[in-house]
A and B are shown apart, each in its own frame.
Chain A
């Protein structure tokens, strides 16, 4: 359609048309998301409890002397996203051991690694619990068997979460 005075072509859609189209498209997307159930949280994702969780972290193969840096009362953070992970309430220092094999008999046995220590930290934190996850106060999901990157006062460490105490056991 051409303007008779200027000779310019009128755009096919004006701003009002575009706004209406976008609103209608947004409504359609929301409707489909709602029907697919993606807008409503799954039953297992709904927060069921808030409280305190206790879990343990093992950091192994520490250079001799480093283990002394880990102290009760240390506030731990996740080194990747700076999530608060809780407060250290227990520190257990052990020798570092590895699984080895007798080359003649092929028997497996554990042997101590000289000048290397392993630290097992007990950590407590406020948490929220749903049916499928325990999320500590800072927003970090903790599960036994998963790797965790921690930092405390003047130290860093990569460890494994050994176990997470169950609500029924606390």
Chain B
């Protein structure tokens, strides 16, 4: 019968005690990371997702871009590459711009063949302390401008309302 630990420090003459300790440490570390980031966090915020609706403004685009949007399209953030909601309504208005007259006064003028597109986006997320987090992590608020895309169009949009 083999000894439990031979004179070279191997268990049953097969594997070094140090190897066994290192493997156990790595397994424990893996289990710890898994519990911390995939189990404990979920139980700590075990609330249902809140519905979030927000509106995006895509300003001064041509009809090609306007026609690229359809209700039901999914919108993604370009930087984080995450789904940030589905278009539930589209509103199109003529694009206007504030400009100066020769006497220095400002006036508002319509820009021909340019449009402002308002997209209503429905999604779910976390509403915490009057802050809105799409998918619990992607913070949005009025006046933020981000690069976004759908399957068919890439664009820059400003959040105009959240609720």
On A, residues with C-beta under 8 Å from B are 13, 16-17, 20-21, 24-25, 28, 31-32, 35-36, 44, 56, 99, 101, 103-110, 129, 131-134, 143-146, 162-164, 166
Cβ 8 A contact of B64, one of A28, A110, A144: A144
Q: Is there an interface contact between A108 and B101, defined as CB atoms closer than 8 Å? A: no
Given the complex, which residues of A lie within 8 Å of B154, measured CB to CB?
Answer: 143-146
List 22 contacting pairs A-B, 8 Å CB cutoff, sorted by A: A17-B19, A21-B19, A21-B23, A24-B23, A32-B30, A32-B33, A35-B38, A99-B114, A106-B101, A106-B109, A108-B111, A109-B112, A131-B74, A132-B76, A134-B152, A143-B149, A143-B154, A145-B61, A163-B65, A163-B67, A164-B152, A166-B152
Give per-residue flags for B100-123: 1 if the beta carbon is below 8 A from chain A beta carbons, else 0. Answer: 111000010111111000000000
A-contacting residues, B122-156, CB 8 Å: 149-155
Chain B contact patch, size range:
35 or more
Knowing A35-B38, A108-B109 are in contact, say whether A143-B153 is a contact too (CB < 8 A): yes
Report the minimal beta-carbon distance from A78 to chain B, rounded to whole angstroms.
16
Given the complex, which residues of A lie within 8 Å of B29, measured CB to CB?
Answer: 28
Q: Is there an interface contact between A132 and B74, defined as CB atoms closer than 8 Å? A: yes
Residue B5 is within 8 A (CB to CB) of chain A in the complex: no
Instruction: Name the prevailing secondary structure of the B interface residues.
Output: mixed
Question: A101-B99, A106-B107 given. 9 additional CB < 8 A pairs?
Answer: A13-B18, A17-B16, A20-B22, A28-B27, A36-B37, A145-B65, A145-B154, A146-B154, A164-B153
Cβ 8 A contact of A20, one of B23, B70, B111: B23
Instruction: State the CA gap A21–B20 with chains docked (Å).
Output: 10
Q: Specify the chain A residue showing the minimal Cβ separation from B61.
A: A145
Instruction: State the CA gap A145–B154 with chains docked (Å).
Output: 5
Top 10 A-B residue pairs of the complex, sorted by shortest distance between their CB atoms: A28-B30, A162-B64, A143-B154, A144-B153, A144-B68, A146-B154, A24-B26, A106-B99, A145-B154, A163-B64
Q: Is there an interface contact between B26 and A25, defined as CB atoms closer than 8 Å? A: yes
Given the complex, which residues of A lie within 8 Å of B33, measured CB to CB?
Answer: 32
A-contacting residues, B11-46, CB 8 Å: 16, 18-19, 22-23, 26-27, 29-30, 33-34, 37-38
Cβ 8 A contact of B153, one of A101, A131, A145: A145
Given the complex, which residues of B lie within 8 Å of A35, measured CB to CB?
Answer: 34, 38
Report the minimal beta-carbon distance from A160 to chain B, rounded to whole angstroms.
9
Report the minimal beta-carbon distance from A163 to chain B, rounded to whole angstroms.
5
Given the complex, which residues of A lie within 8 Å of B151, measured CB to CB?
Answer: 129, 131-134, 143
Given the complex, which residues of A lie within 8 Å of B61, measured CB to CB?
Answer: 145
Instruction: State the CA gap A95–B62 with chains docked (Å).
Output: 17
Report the minimal beta-carbon distance from A75 to chain B, rounded to whole angstroms.
24
